[in-house]
Amino acid sequence: MNSMSRTGSAVPAQAGIKASDISVPINDKSEFRGFCSVLGVAHFLGIQFAHVPARFRQARLVEFESRDAIVESTKFGPICPQISDGSRGHRRHLFVGAPAANQKQSEQNCLCLNIYAPMSALSSDKKIPVIVWIHGGGWSFENGNADFSGDFLIQHAVATGKPVIFVSINYRLGHFGFLSSSELTEEAVNFEEVGWANQGLYDQRLALQWVKNYIGLFGGDNTKVTISGESAGAWSVLAHLKSDQPLCQRGILQSAPFWSMLRPEDAQERFDKLVQRTGVPVSATAAEKLAALRSIPQEVLVTWNEGATSPVWDPKWFVGHGDPEQPLDSVGTFPAWVQAIVSGTMRDEMSVFGFVKLWKTKESVIASLRGGLFLPQDPSFCDEALHEYGIQQSSSDAAAVQGFVSVLADACFAPLPFNLANACRDPNSPPVYIYRFDQADEDENSVFKGAAYHVLDNTYTCRYPAVAGPTAPRSCQATANRFSEMMLRHAYGEAPWQSYRSSGAWNVFDGENTRVEIVDHGVQRWEKLLTTEARVIKFARLFATIVSNLPSQ
């Protein structure tokens, strides 16, 4: 369907184009000043929700009740310093129509959020549901700004009779948000702070707290908040749903990784290695070590990569999750305030990662898997995995590499939706709705044409013109409409399809062939392999192990 603007003409294929100035009062002395886009959507951009007092320190919520000045909210704020996204250039065609990006980087001023709301919500007494978006990027890159505009989504939501408010957030990444050590904990205690192991997760919590405090000013209902995210952002959604802070009611997990958190001793080792790179001796005091790390320019620190960024197990956050090595989705139940969860994966998750360029022979594949899956107390585990995925000395190189890609996809993504659903079989648990995203990239010039790859669904979340516009392929438009329907129904507390608990089925997003299928149990390869706790933990670490030991090209 060709969407129309408020004037009745065809919608411009560009988000974030200003049509008029608007404002939302905070008190009798202050207001948020934003703009209405040509699509009729209210934009309030770059609102700082928290302040970072110093590198690695706990952020502090910004409060607006006593503000006596105008809060300019017409431009995106800075993003966290970060490494580059290697695949972004190959996906440029998906972001035609996205607003212009502000790539200014600042570790202390990056905690900003963006609000997209129907114009009618600003003056209505009836509050509407809220969707908060947490971006992915391996906790190392990406941001919640231009790539995740809510302009097209909000316009569509209004047109379909389910208006929502969309909030995208930023948080600290890499070492800035996920560095943990005894020295940092000691310093936090001295400042009367909690001493979180993952400041980036706490940044997200502060954003959710800000939404709870202030989204009502924009017409949002803070009792109907859905948090949604993709990849590392989806895992972060799970971390909030498993916490003891009821700042949301529902979650959407797009390609959440099956992940084993870093143990505190491993996090300490990473910290020590960083300190050594500054030239400060291991015998230095905690204050000297932290001063040395804080003296490194932000653009240099992002290049000091000590392996894949990972959240660290923190008993202060993961209350009741007593095993730091167990994936978060594999143990425990959800708090009573969690009402429902949607979780799914892409059909071809690994296509975007480029492993086929780095592993080209069966010998290299077998060597990497033997190293990544070795269990001294269970030496047959690796042999069983190689056999299950068709990786043998008699295999062709191409078959072995394809098997390698498949085992990595299963190790990183496949188990999580099923683990969540199986953990919620009790009638008192929240219903879990699972899906698989089969819609492929159909752009003729895309290097990923024909693949339903990791991060492709982000474009569908935001309904950018390449997939949801009037000139997009019909199958893409159909998938975009069904995916938006899922998001909006879920935000409104409606079942998007039958829960896994009641039907044993999942939804397959596949254009005009989108359908509900009964999942065939007992045939998934990872299920056959993960028969012990040790195997589960090792399998959940495989992707991070491989990424941290990439071969040279």
Exposure letters 361-384 (e unless 16+ CB within 10 A, then b) = ebebbbebbeebbeeeeeeebbeb
pTM score: 0.94
User: How buried is 149 (Cβ within 10 angstroms: 0-12 exposed, 13-18 middle, 19+ buried)?
Assistant: buried
Domains present along the chain, CATH in parentheses? 18-259+331-352+430-498 (3.40.50.1820)
Q: How far is CA 110 from CA 1, 117, 195, in A?
A: 38, 22, 20
User: What is the rounded distance in angstroms from the CA atom of residue 452 to the CA atom of residue 462?
Assistant: 17
Please give the pLDDT value at position 522. Answer: 61
pLDDT in tens, the chain (553 residues): 333 333 333 444 689 899 999 999 999 999 999 999 999 999 999 999 999 999 999 999 999 988 888 999 999 999 999 988 877 888 999 998 888 876 899 999 999 999 999 999 999 999 999 999 999 999 999 999 999 999 999 999 999 999 999 999 999 999 999 999 999 999 999 999 999 999 999 999 999 999 999 999 999 999 999 999 999 999 999 999 999 999 999 999 999 999 989 999 999 999 999 999 999 998 999 999 999 999 999 999 999 977 789 999 999 998 877 677 888 887 778 999 999 999 999 999 999 988 888 899 999 999 999 999 999 999 999 999 999 999 999 999 999 999 999 999 999 999 999 999 999 999 999 999 999 999 999 999 999 999 999 999 999 999 999 999 999 999 999 999 999 999 999 999 999 999 999 999 999 999 999 999 998 766 689 989 999 999 999 999 999 899 888 776 5
Please give the pLDDT value at position 254. Answer: 99
Please give the pLDDT value at position 553. Answer: 57
Please give the pLDDT value at position 187. Answer: 98
Residues 131, 118: contact at Cβ < 8 Å?
no
Helix pair 264-278, 182-190: axis angle to 10 deg = 90
Exposure letters 432-458 (e unless 16+ CB within 10 A, then b) = bbbbbbbbbbbbeebebeebbbbbbbb
User: What is the rounded distance in angstroms from the CA atom of residue 309 to the CA atom of residue 82?
Assistant: 12
Please give the pLDDT value at position 550. Answer: 78
**What does R_g of the chain's alpha carbons equal in angstroms?**
23
Half-sphere exposure of 197 (CA within 13 A, CB side): 21
Residue 408: name the closest of 456, 352, 452, 350 by CA.
350
Q: Is 321 helix (H, G, I), strand (E, B) or coil?
A: coil
Half-sphere exposure of 342 (CA within 13 A, CB side): 28
User: What is the rounded distance in angstroms from the CA atom of residue 310 to the CA atom of residue 221?
Assistant: 33
Q: What is the DSSP letter of 348?
A: B
Q: What is the DSSP letter of 511?
A: G
